[in-house]
Amino acid sequence: MQKIYYSIKEVGELVDEEAHVLRYWEKEVKQLKPGKNRSGNRTYSEKDISLLKLIKKLIREDRKNMKEVKEYIDDLYKKNSDWDNSLFFDYDIDKLTEDSEIAEIVASAEEAETEKSSTNNRELVKFLNKLVQQVKEL
């Protein structure tokens, strides 16, 4: 059975990072906002864990510094502000970032984003629909 909330110790084991690293990332990345229980202990949701996995991937594998990580995550949230961000976090972040077809779709959407016309808006809607379909297939 999947839990609704996880302690910092449990999340540290899931993400394979020390608690002090998770607290630092929380301080630096404004989108990472674990709740707190009555005792004041952090309570992490699945969405928080997925975001932590993304942060870890960006720092440990992609070798980005914290400034680049914050910019990347800010851009991710800005680009997806018109659709349900929670959809993104319902899936394994590693599968989403590894999939070259999804990366290709993201690149084409970024190209379409540079031009501001109704045609590009239709392309963006098509892109989002295709992305949602591919994510569901994962």
> How confident is the model at residue 129, as a pLDDT?
75
Please list, in sequence order, all residues whose beta carbon lies within 8 angstroms of the beta carbon of residue 94, skipping any fewer than 6 positions away: 53, 57
Alpha helices in 80-117 (DSSP H): 85-89, 93-98, 100-114
Domains in the chain: boundaries = 1-81, 99-138
Q: Which helix (H) or strand (E) covers residue 134, if one does?
A: helix 118-137
Distance between the two ends of the chain, CA-based, in angstroms? 21
> How confident is the model at residue 40, as a pLDDT?
93
Rounded distance, CA 41 to CA 2, Å? 20
Please list, in sequence order, all residues whose beta carbon lies within 8 angstroms of the beta carbon of residue 36, skipping any fewer than 6 positions away: 42, 43
Which tokens in the block code for residue 72? 């990347």
> How confident is the model at residue 102, as a pLDDT?
58
> How confident is the model at residue 83, as a pLDDT?
41
Q: Residue 61 corresponds to which amino acid?
A: E
What phi-psi label fits residue 40: left (phi over 0), alpha (psi between -120 and 50 degrees) or beta?
A: left
Which tokens in the block code for residue 88? 């993104």
Class of domain 1-81: mainly alpha
Which residues of the chain are under the pLDDT cut of 70?
1-2, 80-121, 136-138
